Amino acid sequence: MSDQIKFIVDNLNKEPFRKNYNLITFDSLEPMQLLQVLNDVLAEIDPKQVVDIREEMPEQTAKRMLSLLGILKYRPPGNATDMSTFRQGLVIGSKPVIYPVLHWLLQRTNELKKRAYLARFLIKLEVPSEFLQDETVADTNKQYEELMEAFKTLHKECEQLKTSGFSTAEIRRDISAMEEEKDQLVKRVERLKKRVETVQNHQRMLKIARQLRVEKEREEFLAQQKQEQKNQLFHAVQRLQRVQNQLKSMRHAAADAKPESLMKRLEEEIKFNSYMVTEKFPKELENKKKELHFLQKVVSEPAMGHSDLLELESKINEINAQVNQLIEKKMMRNEPIEGKLSLYRQQASIISRKKEAKAEELQEAKEKLASLEREASVKTNQTRELDGAEVLKGDEFKRYVSKLRSKSTVFKKKHQIIAEFKAEFGLLQRTEELLKQRHENVQHQLQTIEEKKGISGYSYTQEELERVSALKSEVDEMKGRTLGDMSEMVKKLNSLVSEKKSALAPVIKELRQLRQKCQELTQECDEKKSQYDSCAAGLESNRSKLEQEVRGLREECLQEESKYHYTNCMIKNLEVQLRRATDEMKAYVSSDQQEKRKAVREQYTKNIAEQENLGKKLREKQKAIRESHGPNMKQAKMWRDFEQLMECKKQCFLKQQSQTSIGQERL
């Protein structure tokens, strides 16, 4: 606690607080002053909290601080009952409540500033569904959500830029380079303007070019919007297909299933999930915690040398020897009850291991099934992206194959017709070439005849005059037709304009009345909207308060339930112990010797007597061994000497025999 107060005082004496406290003056602060210090720290995190608490009601102060601490995700120590004491302590300015809050806030001030800043824009205002049926409210809510998403993206980009490592010198160089490029572009634009001013109708051309650029930008925007709508449509189709597949599977499952089978399946799933939650996951979590604690302990200890390792190995050997001795003692007792219990324990452990193995296999199978389903969905999406069509299955694929076969037959027929057309086209092309050659020969003969007669070029001039006269007659006819058409069109347009004016006169009158009515309705809508905003703000505050109360009551209910279950377990344990004690007393007090022998006290006394007799026998045996140890060792030494002597005689005898055999061979 003293370290905590010291940390708080040191941070309050620094910037930006500069309180000039010491441990004594800080500890002697009144509850109101302590609350003001807490409010100053909160105001440093969120500038909206700059309030003099003397001018504010205690309930409002507590509510404001609790809401901000909830946004900052502060968790008070303790359970649900401690939450109520925390609220009361925050209202009255209790030191055991305020000190941990100050310590937590001062430890992470910069992080909490960022969190409070983001909370101003990212805490979503929940609108009731009945109000969202109004189009204006729904559009406003949609715009609000879009702005929130835009803020998220911009904030992420800002954070990335802050952490990207760009230096100010580089940014300045980039800015100077951009300014130089800007100057160059301005000069280039001025030169182009001077060059364009000499061209006729340059203003009209510039206007057309500007319109062209605007239309191109609009075309790009529309293309982008079209692509986005295509993507949205594609995602919507995917969602629809997933939902349809789920609906088909559910209908297929529900068609053949009965209520009993569904209930049985749900019970199996509930049993499996409850086993995973209550038995498997807690054991794994406990093992991980133990392993983490052991690793932390190993890391916190200093580095060990060779001598330390040898010492640890010797300790491990000693402990193993003690464990072996205890196992031998237990085996020497050879109690039948313990043997039965060990058998049951062994069976229970085998069953539990099998159960854990099956649960792991089931979990792995579920994960594999989910991964295969994800892979199948990815493959279907890839095929849709490549082909732009849905993947066919079952009867649809058969229909597609039959349709493809019919199309292939039609394709073959069309291909044959095209081949016939190509052959005919080749014949016609050859005929055209022959006719062209014949025409060229005739023209050449005609030119030679004209040159002989002295009128060369006469046929060409005659053809040109005929062509020009034909064109002139066509142009005259078109002019006459266009003048008549234009006069008729002018008459029609004048009649249409007069008809539209007469038809639109009552509509314009109704439109004026509707505009006036629209203004009145918009004014009424603004008033209703302001009323709705005020009502929504009040309901939101009440809802948050009720949610906090409900959360506190739920936590209290959970605590009471846990206490209730713990008490029941303790009562059952005490009942079992009491039953064992009463049975022991009955057996001990009973006059029947058979029952007395079953008593635990008698069994323990019997075991103690047996162990004492065994110890006495072992001590006598040890004494006899000690007394006979010296003579036995002496006798063993004599036997070893005798054995050496006999071995020496054996070697001498063998040597003598070998010498005699060598002498006989020489003779």
| 124 in Cβ contact with 149 (< 8 Å) | no
Does residue 165 lie in a domain region? no
Would you say residue 393 has pLDDT above 70?
no
| 50 in Cβ contact with 43 (< 8 Å) | yes
Proportion of the chain above pLDDT 70, given as a percent:
86
Q: 565 falls in which pLDDT band (50, 70, 90)?
A: confident
pLDDT at 614: 92
Q: 615 falls in which pLDDT band (50, 70, 90)?
A: very high
Q: 652 falls in which pLDDT band (50, 70, 90)?
A: very high
Would you say residue 263 has pLDDT above 70?
yes
Does residue 569 lie in a domain region? no
Helix H, strand E, coil C: the string for 567-581 is HHHHHHHHHHHHHHH
pLDDT at 390: 57
Enclosing domain of residue 68: 1-123
CATH code, domain with 62? 1.10.418.70
Does residue 37 lie in a domain region? yes
Does residue 636 lie in a domain region? no
Highest average pLDDT, of 166-175, 313-322, 493-502, comes from 313-322
E-assigned strands of 350-494? none
pLDDT at 176: 87
Mean pLDDT of the chain: 79
Rounded-to-integer distance, Cα 542 and Cα 544, Å: 6
| 379 in Cβ contact with 300 (< 8 Å) | no
Summarised one tens digit per residue, pLDDT across range 346-358 is 777 778 778 777 7
Q: In the structure encoding, which two tokens stand for residue 486, read together?
A: 């234009």
Does residue 560 lie in a domain region? no
Rounded-to-integer distance, Cα 100 and Cα 89, Å: 12
pLDDT at 165: 58
Helix/strand/coil for 616: helix
Rounded-to-integer distance, Cα 643 and Cα 637, Å: 10
Average pLDDT over residues 553-564: 89
Does residue 49 lie in a domain region? yes
| 93 in Cβ contact with 100 (< 8 Å) | no
More confident residue, 391 or 42: 42
- Distances 229 to 240, 380, 387 between C-alpha atoms, Å: 16, 21, 18
**Least confident among 73-82, 85-94, 630-639:** 73-82
Average pLDDT over residues 318-339: 71
Would you say residue 591 has pLDDT above 80?
no
Rounded-to-integer distance, Cα 470 and Cα 473, Å: 5
Rounded-to-integer distance, Cα 251 and Cα 119, Å: 44
Q: What is the chain's alpha carbon radius of gyration, rounded to the nearest angstrom?
A: 52
Proportion of the chain above pLDDT 90, given as a percent:
4
Q: 298 falls in which pLDDT band (50, 70, 90)?
A: confident
Q: 450 falls in which pLDDT band (50, 70, 90)?
A: confident
First vs last C-alpha separation in the chain: 112
Task: Work out how many domains the chain is built from and give that number.
Answer: 1
Does residue 48 lie in a domain region? yes
Average pLDDT over residues 242-248: 78
Does residue 70 lie in a domain region? yes
